[in-house]
A = this chain, B = another copy of it.
């Protein structure tokens, strides 16, 4: 399902966030680290930033606040990509259709650019541009730290690497836990951000984002099998080559597609109480399982 209105809106949100990131990086001047940060962060699809902006809009949070928070999550996400692409990790040469940071510069630069992007994400969240309420900023900071630290994203990446050298492939439970940590926690943080910013109950957004995150990962595994490198913008077929267990290898291609679709529908169901106001978040859930990159 290609939805022009959704893609337009995603693009508008991403442009606002990228503009804010560009402005915020201006004082950093131009050297290898600052240039590397810009190179890596500018050009993302902005899915996580969009989740922040749409959930914030749903909760009546001013857009300027949402842009700042969206910029922080995009910086954080980019740090994880730069480090995941390193030779000692996933060893990828291509990201978002261009050479990865360690290919364009070198490994030391990639480690430092990733490090500085993580720092930058927390710096952005400390700014009053995110919220006038200091306690809300602190909640964003502490919840982001939990989502991406040693019990969240970093753990997921470690589990992913361990799976590659394990003598037996992961089972469905293990791969679901890996996904929840590696990509799910940050997607959830992004979709719940609107509720945190407004002080509303995050329950519906949490249910939405948990289904969305899993749907997203299954779709990613499907793309790794079916995708075209020129459209996906990164290497494909890697999981299969590595003999890695994925949702596709465990479920089969057709059942994996059905599962992803069921999860997208479940994500939409979670937003029923919001009616038409949640239309973009619902469209996003459907888009995620039909995307080509």
Contact = CB atoms under 8 A, between A and B. Distances in A.
Interface of A: 27-29, 31-34, 37, 79, 83, 86, 88-89, 106-109, 111-112, 114-116, 118-120, 122-123, 126-127, 134-135, 137-138, 141-142, 145-146, 148-151, 154-155, 157-158, 161-162
A62 B158 CA distance: 38
B120 A150 contact: yes
A250 to B, nearest CB: 23
A150 B119 contact: yes
Given A83-B111, A108-B158, A115-B115, 13 more contacts: A28-B151, A33-B150, A33-B154, A88-B106, A111-B111, A112-B154, A112-B158, A116-B154, A119-B150, A122-B141, A134-B134, A134-B137, A137-B138
Given A115-B83, A137-B138, A154-B116, A123 B145 contact: yes
A246 B29 CA distance: 26
A39 to B, nearest CB: 13
A166 to B, nearest CB: 13
B32 A115 contact: no
Contact of A150 (B34, B107, B141, B148): B34
A119 B149 contact: yes
B122 A122 contact: yes
A31 B155 contact: yes
A141 B27 CA distance: 19
A271 to B, nearest CB: 29
A78 B180 CA distance: 27
Contacts of A34: 150
11 contacts: A28-B150, A32-B158, A83-B115, A86-B111, A89-B111, A111-B111, A119-B154, A120-B149, A123-B142, A127-B142, A134-B134
List the 5 closest A-B pairs by CB distance, nearest first.
A123-B145, A88-B107, A119-B149, A134-B134, A116-B150
A188 B123 CA distance: 18
A126 B150 contact: no
A225 B152 CA distance: 43
A138 B126 contact: yes
